Each structure stands twice: as structure tokens, then as C-alpha cells.
Amino acid sequence: MNVNRQEISRDLMGLGSVPFLVIVVVRVAMVGNFLELFHIVAAVLLFGLVGIWWKGLHFHTARLVILAIFTSIFYDDRYYTIFAMLLAVAALYGFVRYLKIPNVFTSLGIALACSLGSYLISLPLNLKNI
């Protein structure tokens, strides 16, 4: 069996795409979970602002990490969290090893910081879910 690791890595990159982000945002909005919706949108916007200043960041990495974090919180299930984290690690490994994408680890760190930032921003807002 011939496994094309570059193709699998490109497929995993789709988990950090804008269409996938829109699907997740719509899903979260449909159930009225405005706190998680705020976290996702705020983290992506924060990363976008950082990306304006810091050139060369990998936006697929950031969206993938942000979605893995906040969908894990949204579903609140340990099996989903394990699955999402394994998938994210596999994708990040493929980005670095097979696709040779630069700044993956920098983008990862900034995405984690933006996720934490979106959480801290939401604390004084006291957002309610439906």
C-alpha cells in the first residue's frame, strides 16, 4: 500500500481552512453557545491582527489549533478531546515534516496565546448562552 504522506498532510490542512472555520462557527451559533462563539471569533481575529504585524505566520496552523481547543471545550467530551488533539498533532507534524511549511511552531505558540487572550477578554464581558 502506497501512502502519500504529503497528500494526507494537505488533507489535514483543510481542518484549518476558512470553510471549515465557517462550518464550526455556524454550528456553535445554531445551539446558542455565544461564549464559545466569542472565543473562536476573538482568537481568530486576534491572530489576524498579530499576522498583520508579524509576517510569515501560517494561518492554517492557527485556525486548526484554535478550533481544536474550542471545539474540545464546546463538546466537553474526553474522547473527542483526545481525537481532536491527536488529529491536530498529526497535522502539525505533517506541516513540518512533509510539507516543509515555515513558522509552524511560531504560529502554534501565537495561536495558543490568542486562544488564552480570547478567554481573558471574555471574562469581564459575562456572556450568556441561550
Is there a contact between 96 and 12 (Cβ–Cβ < 8 Å)? no
The one-digit pLDDT tens for each residue of the chain (130 residues) are 567 899 999 999 999 999 999 999 999 999 999 999 999 999 999 999 999 999 999 999 999 999 999 999 999 999 999 999 999 999 999 999 999 999 999 999 999 999 999 999 998 888 877 6
For the chain, the domains span: 5-122
Is there a contact between 65 and 115 (Cβ–Cβ < 8 Å)? yes
Please name the residues in contact with 64: beta carbons below 8 A apart, sequence gap of 6 or more: 13, 15, 16, 88, 91, 92
Please name the residues in contact with 106: beta carbons below 8 A apart, sequence gap of 6 or more: 54, 57
Output the pTM of the full model: 0.92
Tell me the C-alpha distance between 84 and 35, whole Å.
20
